[in-house]
Amino acid sequence: MDSPKIKILFVDDEQEILQGLKRMARAMRHNWDVNFALGGAKALEIMAKQDFDILVTDMRMPGIDGVQLLQESLEHYPHMIRIVLSGQFDLDNFIRSGWPAHQFLSKPCDTNTLKKTISQTFAMRELLENSRLKDLVTRANFLPSLPSLYLEIEQELRSTAISMQKIGDIIAQDVAMTAKVLQLVNSPIFGCRRKIKTPTQAVVMLGVDVIKSLSLYLQTYAVMPTPAGVSLERLSKQGIAVGALAREIAKMEGKDDVVCSDAFLAGILQNIGRLIILSGFPEAYKDITAQAHEKNMPVWKVEQQVLGASHAEIGAYLIALWGLPTAIVESVAYHNTPSQCSDKNASFALTAVHVANALEKEPGLDASVINNDLDLEYLKKKGLTEHLPRWQQLYQKMKTS
């Protein structure tokens, strides 16, 4: 049975641009069901009558501009994936508006880039069958972060000799902030041809003014309450530990710098789905961790039973929406179940993150003792079972150093 077509609404205030998009869309008519709106007001009128999967909009338009259109779609149609396609962009205003888009493309945008962005952005959506979860993820522009880290960033930003390295190191201690700066810096509006994969590289590219705006806005989410017994600090520390171990495993196996970097970043982000669950179902997550403890089951398995998906799939969908590289998305999506990854050429980062996460034996977000089991069948198929002892030795060495 053929997959249903992706329903897309393109919005621009220039008829010539829309005509060009129509010509491009004809080649995708077997995969896309498209509509076009001349301006924001017309777009809202169309959206009130039809349902769409993806909104692609210009920013500077008379009357209802791109920001207002994105905000309206976020409020009334939260399931929609929101993509900016614009030649002019006020970044500070966009951040202050609540960051209502998932991805950014610059005009002029070549056809292949637009097609690839839409395809990759939509691909991970199939991991989530629960419509409530899809709405929750597409709403998740910002996630809870550690309040103490904002104080450290502000202090450094007020310094007479600002260290971007230090700011990057601070950001790397937090899952949500790391994901957000990487989403922004890897968008085409910055014109960087290579993927930026570390917070330090990101803050250097973004510059002090953007980091100030981003930090100010993110602070409003840092005070979001979390259930008793849930520690964002423990969650972040565990992610850093997994990332560091995954990177060292990749180095031990002789992988190149790209794979090692992917393993580190995916390790940090492998729990980002838990932040999404905490932001949407805080009390339910307390019950999930309690059940995991009572039944001696991994938290992610209880998540699947209760929510229909685990934090792995939820987090992977979010970072796919934000445009992070496929190797990192796959490593997050399947870090508990690597055998389920259909990509036979998946990066070694997936293996490294899976093993690091299992060895780290994260006790859950509360104090319950939950073991993350190794997928031994997967390691056997990869011919890596005999590597386990040296990985365990590496882990013990890192823990005691």
pLDDT score of 394: 93
Which residue from 325, 371, 327 is spatially nearest to 352, judged by alpha carbons? Answer: 327
Separation CA 306–CA 304 (nearest Å): 6
> Residue 33: which H helix or E strand, with range?
strand 32-38
Q: Is the peptide bond before 108 cis (omega within 30 degrees of 0)?
A: yes
Please report, as a single letter, which amino acid is at residue 89: F
Judge contact between 249 and 352, C-beta under 8 A.
yes
The length of the chain, given as a count of residues: 401
The secondary structure of 225-255 as a DSSP string is ---TT--HHHHHHHHHHHHHHHHHHHHHTT-
Query: Does residue 356 have a pLDDT over 70?
Result: yes
* pLDDT over 70, % of the chain: 84
Tokens of 348: 């070694």
pLDDT score of 368: 37
Q: How many CB atoms lie within 10 A of CB 233?
A: 12
> Residue 168: which H helix or E strand, with range?
helix 164-171
pLDDT score of 386: 94
CATH 3.40.50.300 for the 6-127 domain, yes or no: no
Q: What does DSSP assign to residue 2? A: P
Listed range (14-18, 168-172, 275-279) with the worst mean pLDDT: 275-279
Tell me which of 116 and 387 has the higher pLDDT: 387
Separation CA 193–CA 191 (nearest Å): 6
Q: In sequence order, which ranges of 322-367 are alpha helices (DSSP H)?
A: 326-333, 348-360
In the CATH hierarchy, which top-level class contains the domain 232-400? Answer: mainly alpha
Judge contact between 322 and 102, C-beta under 8 A.
yes
Separation CA 341–CA 394 (nearest Å): 26
Which residue from 64, 70, 71, 53 is spatially nearest to 9, judged by alpha carbons? Answer: 53
Separation CA 264–CA 261 (nearest Å): 5
SS3 57: strand
pLDDT score of 296: 83
pLDDT score of 367: 37
Tell me which of 278 and 343 has the higher pLDDT: 343
Phi and psi dihedrals of 11, rounded to 5? -130, 130
- State pTM to two decimals: 0.77
pLDDT tens sequence across 209-267? 777 767 765 655 555 566 666 677 777 788 888 989 999 999 999 999 999 989 988 99
pLDDT score of 38: 96
Tokens of 157: 């930003």
pLDDT score of 224: 56
Which residue from 296, 307, 297, 225 is spatially nearest to 273, judged by alpha carbons? Answer: 307
Give me the residue label for tokens 């180095």: 251
Separation CA 281–CA 279 (nearest Å): 6
Which residue from 181, 171, 173, 232 is spatially nearest to 365, judged by alpha carbons? Answer: 232
Q: How far is CA 182 from the centre of its chain?
A: 9
Separation CA 134–CA 276 (nearest Å): 11
Q: Which of 77-81, 155-159, 186-190 has the highest mean predicted lDDT (pLDDT)?
A: 77-81
| Domain spans, the chain | 6-127, 147-222, 232-400
Burial of 82 (0-12, 13-18, 19+ CB in 10 A): buried
Judge contact between 390 and 252, C-beta under 8 A.
yes
Judge contact between 394 and 248, C-beta under 8 A.
yes
Give me the residue label for tokens 């998906």: 309
Sheet containing 32-38: give its strands across: 32-38, 6-12, 54-57, 81-86, 103-106
